[in-house]
Amino acid sequence: MLRPLALLSVALLPCNPAIAATAERAPAGTLADGTVIEAVTLTGANRVSARIISFGATLQSLTAPDRKGQLADVLLGFDDAADYERLPSYFGVTVGRYANRIDGGRFAIDGKSYQVSQNDKGNALHGGAIGFDKRQWRIVSVTEGQQASVTLALTSADGDQGFPGRVEAQVTYTLDDTGTLTIRFDATTDQPTVINMTNHAIFNLAGEGAPGGALGHRLTIPAKAITPVSPQLIPTGALRPVAGTVFDFRTARTLDEGIRDGRDPQIVYARGYDHNFALDKGITSSPELAARLEDPVSGRVLDVLTTDPGVQLYTGNFLDGTVIGKAGHLYRMGDGIALEPQKFPDAPNKPQFASARVDPAKPYSHVMIYRLSVAR
């Protein structure tokens, strides 16, 4: 069982409560076609800061103090904003229209079949070949005060990557003075479609590029089951209990305890962890805990909360040393951990899963939170 947060960590309280959170907007480079990338840096009085760039509505950096007050960027990614276009790797991006995988890129709505972009061994992954992560978003508002925020918008045309309906999507990042970054996704459509949006930040709480990677982090996920996958990483449709397996994170354990356990075919299929956990809480009206990640060395703690019913644990299994990231660091498997709140993968083809359907009269909304604190 999870212990109350107050027993585990302390919030990153403001150094001076009178100082409000700030937002700074600036150019951040150009895309290949000359389009200017913009960046907005949100900073709280406690020195936590989040930098968001317009390409991919991407969370480029998230900087926070450790138990000694030393600041570090805890996200894998690139220093140069243009590299997010040049070297697409999903670091910190907004994922859509549909996060995770759709079997064969095919699904049906009201008896009509759709074939969407296949970009992952015949399947659709993270919205297809040109998903929301590979688009230039519009910055529509920037605010500061008790909280600092930026809202970005994107229009996805009917037929974009094969998906039906014209979709107007928005994502809002809001940072407060307690180390809480709230990410809200909203979308409307003019005809029935499927939408599943999330953020794909990859964390190393010891600091991006820290020696030893992130596999020594302790992870807790309040989920009694996962959605097991085929060798193609498509959910079978079943729920597999985690009890007695390397997927049991109901009590905190380090990731390296199970990531190489080749006795479990699920670990073999994914080359580590790349699985959706069916959260005990299900769909909720306000964000509730989906995962807690703790770095015993720095003392940093990350709580991930969501209104959605699942969270994908991904241990960077396909990082193979060919990507050079921030500060010249070469990224390999286990250098970072992604915890992606979501509807279940392949839900459009699995009626037993919570529906990802969105209709004109029922707009889409998903709220997730990254909450940083420091262990006592």
Phi/psi region, residue 327 (left: phi>0; alpha: psi -120 to 50; beta: rest), is: left
- Among the options 38, 85, 208, 340, which is catalytic? 340
Residues ≥6 apart with Cβ < 8 Å to 311: 221, 223, 276, 277, 279, 290, 291, 304, 339, 340, 341, 342
In the residue annotation, 340 being an active-site residue is answered as yes
Catalytic residue among 200, 217, 275, 366: 200
Q: Is residue 59 within 8 Å of residue 6, measured between CB atoms?
A: no
Mapping DSSP to helix (H, G, I), strand (E, B) and coil, where does residue 136 land?
strand
Active site residue 275: no
Cα angle 208, 214, 217 (rounded to 5 degrees) comes to 125
C-alpha distances in angstroms, 165 versus 95, 323, 352, 360, 370?
18, 35, 24, 9, 31
Q: Which residues are registered as beta bridge partners of 145?
A: 21
Contact predicate 267/273, CB 8 Å: yes
Q: How far apart (Å, rounded) are the C-alpha atoms in residues 299 and 65?
A: 9
Identity at 159, one-letter amino acid code: G
Active site residues: 200, 340
